[in-house]
Amino acid sequence: MKLLYENDGLICGICNGFQALLKLGLVPFGKILEETTVSPTLTFNLSGKHQSSLVKTKVVSNSSPWLMDFNAGDEFLVAVSHGEGRFVADDQTIGSLNAKGQIATVYVDEQGDPGTAFPFNPNGSFGAIEGLLSPDGRVFGRMAHSERFISEVYRNVPGSKKMDIFTSGINYFR
């Protein structure tokens, strides 16, 4: 908490890191809280299998230092690799997250609409949610592996693959 609020810090958790941020409450609440039976969580993929592929994601909210260099509506092809990536929360929680601009990124289909079915939503996440923000945007958790981008890999696969959230995070401090 001191890192975030006294030292003007940022936290990003990807895949298992996202799971840890959810379990701690840092996303979506922005503070460490005891988990309850209705806390948002990540659980096993609907397929019951590990999923490893490229998926299309869309920036829904850029109200975060991690996403400040992007526009709402920007789409990226990003790698996923997980067995427990299905975001689960009740409708009231999802509605509240949406209303507060805390849904950062969603899985989308070929038309750019939220992906409700496999393979567009590789794990069956409620609301097609792929990434969440804390209320102030300092904490960003997501399933897709932005860090796995290498410029010469997937050259033959169309789509923008360089979602450089880390440069955005650095730019926040400049």
Say which of 6, 82, 130, 145 is annotated catalytic: 145
Say which of 6, 12, 15, 130 is annotated catalytic: 15
Give the position of tokens 């659980």: 43
- From first CA to last CA, the distance across the chain in angstroms is 22
82 is catalytic: no
145 is catalytic: yes
130 is catalytic: no
**Residue type (1 letter), 165:** I
- Asked if 77 and 89 touch (Cβ cutoff 8 Å), the reply is no
Gap between the Cα atoms of 133 and 122, Å rounded: 21
Query: Cβ atoms within 10 A of the Cβ of 147, count?
Result: 15
Which candidate, 138, 161, 158, 172, places its Cα nearest to that of 74?
A: 161
Say which of 6, 34, 130, 147 is annotated catalytic: 147
Backbone angles phi, psi at 116, to 5 degrees: -100, -15
Catalytically active residues, by annotation: 15, 145, 147
